[in-house]
């Protein structure tokens, strides 16, 4: 199932490789975020790429345009398949990231993070953003589209809105996925969540699932259960 990406949110390469070896062939790729990358560095990315894995490098670059462009180039040299920048970094920053990716040898996909799934309207107001979550996601997605990024990261609750706004070609990556029939299901610190079938049906291209799989007593079964649910959606759509 190419659309299911597993967030490998663990501390060591040994743990990460054990999970990836178990799930390889069942899921579509692996997300490496700041926790694992800070612990183990770029060598793990290279190792997974050497195994033929699609690596979604989720470091949310947010800096001046030149620095972000150089980071995108470095991620490309590692073999990252997809990576993130913060859409709040602005048009010029996202344009620099998109251009750097296009010039890179393997041309990784670049997607802009809109509003973190841990934020709601109250939290946005606390950091000085008067818009609702939906309005802020829509505004940043429009900016990412204008910058010619490949897509955005948004919660499943904004997917239908973004499809209407930006059409079918723009890639939408969706975290905050919580399987309905998983015993480990919990929102944790994510407040804008949906189930896998709901998110895929709304128009998500890729679903990012972490704890419901890697914290399960049987991660392979948990992944296969999600894949089965998604295959049902694919037959209906």
Residues annotated catalytic, as ranges: 60
Q: Is the Cα dihedral 152, 108, 175, 205 positive or negative? A: positive
Provide the token pair at 114. Answer: 């809109």
Residues 6+ apart with CB under 8 A from 173: 5, 56, 82, 111, 151, 152, 153, 154, 204, 205, 206, 208
Provide the token pair at 79. Answer: 């073999």
Given a contact cutoff of 8 angstroms between Cβ atoms, the answer to whether 190 and 167 are in contact is: no
Q: What is the largest CA-CA distance in the chain?
A: 46
Give CA–CA dist 176/225, Å, rounded: 17
Q: 27 pairs with which residues across the strands?
A: 24
Tokens 């649910």 belong to 229
């Amino acid at each position: 199932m190419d659309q299911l990406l597993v967030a490998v949110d663990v501390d060591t390469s040994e743990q990460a490789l054990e999970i990836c070896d178990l799930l390889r062939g069942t899921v579509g790729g692996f997300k490496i975020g700041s926790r694992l990358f800070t612990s183990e560095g770029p060598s793990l990315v290279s190792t997974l790429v050497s195994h033929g894995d699609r690596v979604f490098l989720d470091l949310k670059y947010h800096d001046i345009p030149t620095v972000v462009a150089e980071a995108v180039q470095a991620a490309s040299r590692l073999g990252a398949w997809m990576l993130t920048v913060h859409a709040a970094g602005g048009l010029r920053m996202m344009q620099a990231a998109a251009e750097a990716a296009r010039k890179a040898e393997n041309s990784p996909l670049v997607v802009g993070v809109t509003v973190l799934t841990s934020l709601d309207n109250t939290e946005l107001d606390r950091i000085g953003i008067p818009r609702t979550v939906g309005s802020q996601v829509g505004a940043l997605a429009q900016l990412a589209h204008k910058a010619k990024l490949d897509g955005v990261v948004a919660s499943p609750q904004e997917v239908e809105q973004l499809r209407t706004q930006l059409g079918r070609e723009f890639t939408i990556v969706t975290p905050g996925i919580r399987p309905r029939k998983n015993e480990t299901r919990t929102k944790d610190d994510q407040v804008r969540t949906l189930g896998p079938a709901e998110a895929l049906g709304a128009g998500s291209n890729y679903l990012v699932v972490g704890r419901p799989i890697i914290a399960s007593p049987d991660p392979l079964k948990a992944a296969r259960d999600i894949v089965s649910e998604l295959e049902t959606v694919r037959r209906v759509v």
